[in-house]
Structure 1
């Protein structure tokens, strides 16, 4: 069974490059992804690191303007940094010119900073599970992030003084009400989002555990994205929680699940492994608390230290790296294991040309309509 493939892009900045070029690369990749037959092109939201996707709605507008048919969306808007009205009005503005093409993905964002004894305590021991070649490692404990000062500083800058994020369930309810024109304040005043009300956007929730996001998406009958590429150790419980909580909705009579994966594809195994060899450095920066740095050149980067390798071992073992046939076989196994209705892939390499090649080869091997002659 072949299911749709989509693209998740972070607008990564490589050593020797800058944010302007990263955004141009994202636009170029979106155009190519549309031509190759990918269903969606999503952009992530990250702040104060070496990725240029800090303003997803504006980037979505640029991508929509540069493409014709591919769906464009956020993966995901960090809801804790915005009011419900600002999210709906922004997407409504883009939808006014590109109706029916937008996916409004919401994530809980960094509501809490891991700290204290609870964060430092290791999780209960859990063995690595390998099913049909899909690795499900023990979950990564947030308490292993050694320095949270950068995260704390980012939260301080991204929020207005004294502001606290809304309860996530309440914010999702507000966004839905503003979109469908039923929003009323606590004292009975009816407010309309202009633009925004009636916008033809599809709401998605994203999650990396079996907690609030997965359960809320299920209860509301919304499509859901489980993050295997960020949190591979929790993907099975995340999927199970979504399905267990699911209640049919008019648009989704049954669960609709997308699962993410990180891929690097090349014509031969050795080339793919070389291109992916600095992925561990990038993840190590994130998990150390320093944040995502510039993506290193594999031709010149030093090998990972033992300490770095231990910190990112689960992500290295769950990255899909190799020839088109080998990667497609592993992605098919991930599809079968999770029962995904769609897969979304992200690919980060130092050179933009190698990233294009990775997505092109994967699209062709998967059998996407536009890639067969590419």
Structure 2
């Protein structure tokens, strides 16, 4: 029996002391190596206003990665649909498919819609129910949930959202946007008056369309209803991964794409030859997550020395505790064992691994060591 496929999610991290150019060149190098190591697909994230993340334009970067590789699937994890029109997405990825046929994945995620929901949540003033406590399910740690509402509804997040959209624009319903993308790809788009529109390039493109989500909400339910593959984010929202995959499977309807559900689960991992080395390389991760959850945007990824010198407050430790506790760090055997627990607990068909270290060579080695342990 073949091992469960592993894939890569890359944010093109900018190391402290490095440049965006360094980060992007590191992405190209890692993609080539990941293909050699046996990873199934290489996905680029979309993040904005983050000094420590260079993957702001996934379609552009996907083209560079696909040109530098030969067979690995390349895609987005995920396009933030609240900031783009369906036509723009179809044309971008249709262009990529025309250049690299049969290799492009179009991962879609909600974005602007989440801010509107968070603002409404805070405006109601209704006390939130007490969050469930951390628990272990089938060996997998499910931490207490972290609420993103205040972060998403913050003035700085509002500024960023306004810069990402046309003045006065409101993000359409996610389901409507996904439906328009699928219709344009099939060449079946019609408006309310039955006028048709055709995307060139884009119509007929051989893309794999995925939905990504962090909860049991609209993304999971829509992916199931449309019979599309679904990606659940354990590395971003570990507290809700089980409910997300349950909601997807409960909503699943067979389609021309899938006869049965297909679940990918993401995980953050750092692998080294020894546990001590892995822990040292992973040490800056908490400081990096702290910057995100404080609303500052991801900082350039610190060195282990910078992480060791940081003085942590109790509040800051609590802010990142769930992410630290659910990061897989250690020797190849240790991390592989942890990922198997994640796979079994979520019944994942594939795992999407994201690894960030300050040293690019250590990041490449982490993926190499994991692949050797997993596949051989």
TM-score range, shorter chain: over 0.9
Structure-2 change in CA distance of 1:136 and 1:118 (3 Å): farther
CA shift, 1:110, in A, is 3.3
CA shift, 1:128, in A, is 1.1
2:287: which partner in 1? 281
Q: Does the CA-based 8 Å contact 1:119-1:142 persist in structure 2?
A: no
Structure-2 change in CA distance of 1:146 and 1:37 (3 Å): closer
Aligned residue for 1:111, secondary structure, equals helix
Aligned residue for 1:205, secondary structure, equals strand
CA shift, 1:120, in A, is 8.8
Structure-2 change in CA distance of 1:118 and 1:338 (3 Å): farther
| Correspondences of 1:194-233 after superposition (within 5 Å) | 194-233=200-239
CA shift, 1:97, in A, is 1.1
1:76: which partner in 2? 78
Q: Does the CA-based 8 Å contact 2:113-2:173 persist in structure 1?
A: no
Aligned residue for 1:141, secondary structure, equals coil
> CA RMSD, aligned part only?
1.5
For structure 2, list consecutive stretches of 5 or more residues without a partner in the other structure.
none
Partners of 1:239 and 1:326 lie apart in 2 by 25
| Correspondences of 1:156-235 after superposition (within 5 Å) | 156-235=162-241
Listed one character per residue, the Cα deviations across residues 256-309 of structure 1 (whole Å, up to 9, x for unaligned) are 000000000011111111111110011111111111111100123323332211
Q: Does the CA-based 8 Å contact 1:146-1:288 persist in structure 2?
A: no
1:48: which partner in 2? 49
Listed one character per residue, the Cα deviations across residues 345-371 of structure 1 (whole Å, up to 9, x for unaligned) are 00000111110011000000001xxxx
With normalisation by structure 1, the TM-score equals 0.95
Q: Does the CA-based 8 Å contact 1:78-1:108 persist in structure 2?
A: yes
| Correspondences of 1:229-248 after superposition (within 5 Å) | 229-248=235-254
2:324: which partner in 1? 316
Partners of 1:103 and 1:72 lie apart in 2 by 6
Partners of 1:278 and 1:148 lie apart in 2 by 25
Partners of 2:127 and 2:100 lie apart in 1 by 48
The correspondence for 1:134, drawn from 119, 137, 140, is 140
Partners of 2:305 and 2:76 lie apart in 1 by 33
Q: Does the CA-based 8 Å contact 1:120-1:144 persist in structure 2?
A: no
Partners of 2:368 and 2:128 lie apart in 1 by 40
Partners of 1:191 and 1:267 lie apart in 2 by 55
Count of residues in correspondence between the two structures: 368
Q: Which runs of at least 4 in structure 1 moved beyond 3 Å after TM superposition? A: 117-123, 143-147
Listed one character per residue, the Cα deviations across residues 187-243 of structure 1 (whole Å, up to 9, x for unaligned) are 221111000000000100000000100000000000000000000000010010000
Q: Does the CA-based 8 Å contact 1:8-1:41 persist in structure 2?
A: yes
Structure-2 change in CA distance of 1:132 and 1:270 (3 Å): farther
The correspondence for 1:337, drawn from 326, 335, 345, is 345
Structure-2 change in CA distance of 1:204 and 1:277 (3 Å): same
With normalisation by structure 2, the TM-score equals 0.95
Listed one character per residue, the Cα deviations across residues 235-256 of structure 1 (whole Å, up to 9, x for unaligned) are 0100100000000012210000
